[in-house]
Amino acid sequence: MFKFKPNVIFRFNLLVIFFFAMWGIVIMWCAFSKMTFMRGYWNTIKENNIGKESPEPPKRGNILSDNGELLVSTLPQYRIHIDYVYKNDNDQKDEDETRHKRDSLWETCLDELSIGLNEIFPNKSAADFKRDLGYGFRNKKRYHWLYNRKISYTQYRRIEKLPIMKEGRKYNGLIVDEEIERKNIFNDIGTSTFGVVRKSEKNGKPFEDKNGLEKKYDRYLCGVPGVKRIEKVGGKNIKRIIVPPQNGMDIQTTINSDMLDICENAVKKVLTEHHLPAGWAILMETRTGDIKAIVNLTRLSNGYYYETTDNIPNNPTANHALCRLMEPGSIFKTVALTAALEDGKLTTRDSVYAYSSRVHNFNGKNVTDEMYRDNGTGKYSMAEALKYSSNISMVQYIRKAYAKNPEEYTNTLIRFGLTNNYNLLESEATSYLTLPGTKSWNALSLNSMSYGYAVGMTGISILSFYNTIANGGKQMQPRLVKAVLNEGMIVEEFPTKVLNEQLISKKTADDVSSLLVEVVNGKDGTGKRAKSEMMLVAGKTGTANIPNSITGRYDDSEKMMSFCGFFPADDPQYTLLVQMLYDKKQDTRPEEKRRKLGGGSSSALAFKEIAEKVMAKQLNIPVEAAIDTTNAYHPYVMSGNIKEADLVLGELGIKTNGRPEYIDGEHSWGKIVNDEAGNIRLFKEEFDIEIVPDVTGMGAKDALFLMQERGIEVQFEGYGRVVSQSIAPGTKAKKGETARLVLAL
């Protein structure tokens, strides 16, 4: 039997151990080498094929209207170019065949493509599209514009269906760059309130600059970023989501899109007519304090009016209505009289002197009444003082009430909430009053504060106070956002809030409301242009001079014109403030049309239009009220399928000449005639399948059916009923021919 010698086995074992030890050392050296000396090389390989992990941005939440409609959303935008050159380095035959087909498509379909692009983008003619695209094709451009603007997803999808474009990217050469963009659904309307999100840089690092609601509610809208990694698979970059992002939540506002549109159009109309630099409006629901619309329009250098958050000429603030402090002028007289009435200093039966001149001197300063009226009594009642917006009367009333204790007056104004900051936006300004005992207080301060000077008010402060009057003395917290939603479910709610159940007494509120009704509806009232035949309106005009930015003096070169009130006055539903600016330097009206402007001749006009259109939308008239029981109404009925026509007429209770014999079959064709007596008569006709039918008098649907049933293609022109057809009725139908049908009402 063969036996190993012990020393041989031992030497063999040593050899094996040595071999594995050396192999282990080699492996460890290789690993150590790759981890140290070759680390940079392998990291480069990793980055080229796997890539670094980076944040995956979430989709920002939407801003919604009061009924859930989109106001602001994150939408894709596209920039589209064309590469007229096709290359395939791996397959020359494919490259030649593709180029040949491409050239053929561009030669034969360019006209049709240009017409299609013009239908999608009507601001550029088909001829211009043909010229530009033809230039790119002939010169084999590699990155040529298809349309030199960002386009929407819908427009992009329509482009894909056009000739050449529908052949696929191999043949059309489309290069599509997608950009995610924050989009206001109504263009710029409401932008100064909704805000914007801009890409910017700070200290060399990118960041998002936000304002408006976008900034105020960013913690809800922003979402939580995920983690992604770009990996190279088969020569292509593939995005791998490591941690999915959490999309932002939606915020539901109190804004009503229809009312927003009404306010924007009404304000823009008056601004345009009088060439004014800026104007704004806030519409509030009286009982809830909900802001239903807020618009801030500014005339830009091109002469058009837009909403913008940029600090530019005519727009020194992010939001005129919420962030701009100005002396309000005569709309503050309502506040002053309410204070005196509520404090028991005056009654509506009080009167003051009506001086024989429109100018009177108080404490060494002239006070002027622009709407001076000599009523022959030598006295101005409180109603007349407000109706004629008498500064002289207001000084007398407020001095009579508070001259001995002006601090009582300012304390009442503070109690009214006039210096509240409602924090609707982070940039909202805080209104201020000139207070006794401060450096700014002087012998003229109380006089000035009686008619809207020596105070700085935001639009929302004034509106909120008027809303308290309209609400019978109940003070509501203005509300702009009502809820935060996550996938349609409410996660946080901001309910309506009562700040004071009875800030002023019901009697005071009713007395002041009656005074405001007289301003609009009384003879020669300054607010007469806000008067409506549709409902009772209450409100007050205001025209405040703005200090010259250079001299600091009031020189009539700039002013703010206001109207604030509520409607219907006998059952207030809405409170509305409209304010507009005038700048003499920017008044481009012809000299003969430069009549003097004030709150009554500008803002009151927009107020009336807004009030009437808003209330018109609230009308719910029963259908029965629209029925004319005196005159029988017979609708015009088109020829065509008389079986369907008779069925509909029967449901409407309209009699015809009796049921023709159309019981059998789905369709029964014929003519429908309205005779001179107003009767509707149905006449059945038989149409030979091989003969071109007479489709005049029919609607497009029935005419199309009958023509296509005979193999005839149809081209329509106009809308309504068919008035003429290019192929004469009664001729033999030829499959494939085209009939042109002209429609008219």
pLDDT digits (tens, 9 = 90+) for 411-452: 999 999 999 999 999 999 999 999 999 999 999 999 999 999
DSSP sequence for 566-586 = EESTTS--EEEEEEEEEEGGG
Whole-angstrom distance, CA of residue 267 vs CA of residue 256: 17
Judge: domain 640-744, CATH 3.90.1150.10. Answer: no
Rounded mean pLDDT, 347-372: 90
- The pLDDT assigned to 188 comes to 86
Q: Is the pLDDT of residue 235 over 80?
A: no
Taking only Cα atoms into account, the Rg of the chain, rounded to an integer number of angstroms, comes to: 38
Determine which of 140-149, 638-647, 731-740 has the lowest per-residue pLDDT on average.
638-647
Q: Are strands 738-744 and 721-725 parallel, antiparallel or unpaired?
A: antiparallel
Q: What is the pTM of this model?
A: 0.72
Rounded mean pLDDT, 672-698: 72
Judge: domain 257-618, CATH 3.40.710.10. Answer: yes
Q: How many alpha carbons fall within 13 Å on the CB side of residue 344?
A: 0
Q: Is the pLDDT of residue 46 over 70?
A: no
Q: Cβ contacts of residue 387 below 8 Å, gap of 6+?
A: 515, 518, 519, 522, 524, 525, 526
Q: What angle do CA 729, 735, 739 make, to 5 degrees?
A: 45
Rounded mean pLDDT, 490-506: 96
User: For residue 486, which amino acid is it?
Assistant: N
- The pLDDT assigned to 181 comes to 80
Neighbours of 698 (CB within 10 A): 25
Average pLDDT across the chain, whole number? 86
Top-ranked range on mean pLDDT: pick from 3-17, 313-327, 693-707: 313-327
- The pLDDT assigned to 671 comes to 67
Rounded mean pLDDT, 86-95: 85
Determine which of 220-224, 353-357, 383-387, 427-431 has the lowest per-residue pLDDT on average.
353-357
Nearest to residue 371, comparing CAs of 166, 248, 474, 519?
A: 519
Whole-angstrom distance, CA of residue 489 vs CA of residue 494: 14
The helix/strand count (H/E) of the chain reads as 21, 32
Rounded mean pLDDT, 227-256: 80
- The pLDDT assigned to 664 comes to 46
- The pLDDT assigned to 232 comes to 60
Go through the chain and tell me how many residues it has: 745
Q: How would residue 623 be classed by pLDDT, with cut points 50, 70 and 90? A: very low
Whole-angstrom distance, CA of residue 580 vs CA of residue 272: 11
Whole-angstrom distance, CA of residue 254 vs CA of residue 290: 6
Secondary element (H or E) of residue 493:
strand 489-493
What CATH number was assigned to the domain covering residues 55-252? 3.90.1310
Domain ranges of the chain: 6-49, 55-252, 257-618, 640-744
